[in-house]
């Protein structure tokens, strides 16, 4: 096996889901004067490891249940193609979890037990997404879990590690990333409605149907771009309107989601990740500039 296969197994094209909330939370910490440089790489690496574990566990359990098959319309899966075995991914997941725990300990020492609690909760959620008897993805709760853990916990948790306290601003700032990451998962599930339905994977898209799921994507996209900006601008001034610059590209991705089917939605999935990064950079810029 090659390093290229292992990198592919982590799904690096959607690492935005873990990088963006750390960026936003760190920018808010900088704006409030509580940012500490040495904590940033530890937070970022731990967040990316948690996402990697979630991706690996999802592949393992989907493979075991037959939710993935050769010739699927989404990006290829390393287990289905026979590049890696479930045992190898299970072992890698445990190693990643141990590394994440060890790298997180300096943050726990500096910020207290809530940091440990959030880290453990994120690791459990990464497993519970498709693992266990009552897994989140198969019961239509995956989108909510993504919103909570890669959005709300990602941003507010990052801010807490810096500040040692939570804030209402971090919660409002977390709404946009939460909606955006839910949309990354949402467009993935819209694409996979036919195959998920066959194996009993009752994602939110399967439960409500393709058309409502597409319009939910549009609503969440517009809410992410407009909502937090309008709320935060009340407190911090016009710089917080910067994320609205992402609206044209957001509308383009929305049109792709509304009009495309099957494999043609793969560019929309990548576009959703790019939109999320674009939005997060603009929000982070707005937060930092508002403090100058």
Domains and CATH numbers, the chain: 3-290 (1.10.600)
| Whole-angstrom distance, CA of residue 179 vs CA of residue 202 | 20
Task: Quote the pLDDT of residue 100.
Answer: 95
- Give CA–CA dist 46/171, Å, rounded: 21
Other CB atoms within 10 A of residue 92 CB: 17
The single residue listed with the structure tokens 């930092």 is: 288
What does the pLDDT read at residue 74? 59
Q: What is the pLDDT of residues 120-158, one digit of tens each?
A: 999 898 888 877 777 888 888 989 999 999 999 999 999
Mean pLDDT value across residues 165-174: 94
* Cα distance from N-terminal residue to C-terminal residue, the chain: 50
User: Which whole-number Å values give the CA distances from 29 to 165, 173, 239, 289, in the listed order?
Assistant: 11, 12, 16, 12
Q: Which of 127, 103, 122 is nearest to 45 (CA)?
A: 103
Residue-level pLDDT at 201: 84
Distance CA 256, CA 269 (A): 10
Are the C-beta atoms of residues 23 and 281 closer than 8 Å to each other? yes
The pLDDT assigned to 70 comes to 47
């Amino acid at each position: 096996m090659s390093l290229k296969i292992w990198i592919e197994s982590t799904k690096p094209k959607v690492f935005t889901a873990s990088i963006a909330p750390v960026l936003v939370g760190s920018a808010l910490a900088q704006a409030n004067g509580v940012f500490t440089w040495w904590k940033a790489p530890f937070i970022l690496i731990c967040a990316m490891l948690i996402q990697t574990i979630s991706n690996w566990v999802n592949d393992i359990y989907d493979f075991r249940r037959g939710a993935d098959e050769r010739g699927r319309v989404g990006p290829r899966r390393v287990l289905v193609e026979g590049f890696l075995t479930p045992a190898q991914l299970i072992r890698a997941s445990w190693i990643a979890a141990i590394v994440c725990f060890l790298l997180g300990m300096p943050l726990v020492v500096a910020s207290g037990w809530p940091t440990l609690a959030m880290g453990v909760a994120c690791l459990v959620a990464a497993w519970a997404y498709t693992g266990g008897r009552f897994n989140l993805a198969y019961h239509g709760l995956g989108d909510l879990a993504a919103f909570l853990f890669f959005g709300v916990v990602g941003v507010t948790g990052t801010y807490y590690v810096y500040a040692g306290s939570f804030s209402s601003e971090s919660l409002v700032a977390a709404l946009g990333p939460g909606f955006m990451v839910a949309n990354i998962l949402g467009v993935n599930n819209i694409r996979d409605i036919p195959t998920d339905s066959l194996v009993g994977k009752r994602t939110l898209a399967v439960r409500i149907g393709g058309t409502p799921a597409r319009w939910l994507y549009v609503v969440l996209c517009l809410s992410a771009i407009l909502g937090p900006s309008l709320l935060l601008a009340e407190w911090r001034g016009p710089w917080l309107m910067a994320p609205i610059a992402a609206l044209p590209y957001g509308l383009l991705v929305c049109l792709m989601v509304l009009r495309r089917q099957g494999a043609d939605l793969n560019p929309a999935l990548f576009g959703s990740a790019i939109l999320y990064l674009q939005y997060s950079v603009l929000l982070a810029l707005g937060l930092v500039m508002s403090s100058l």
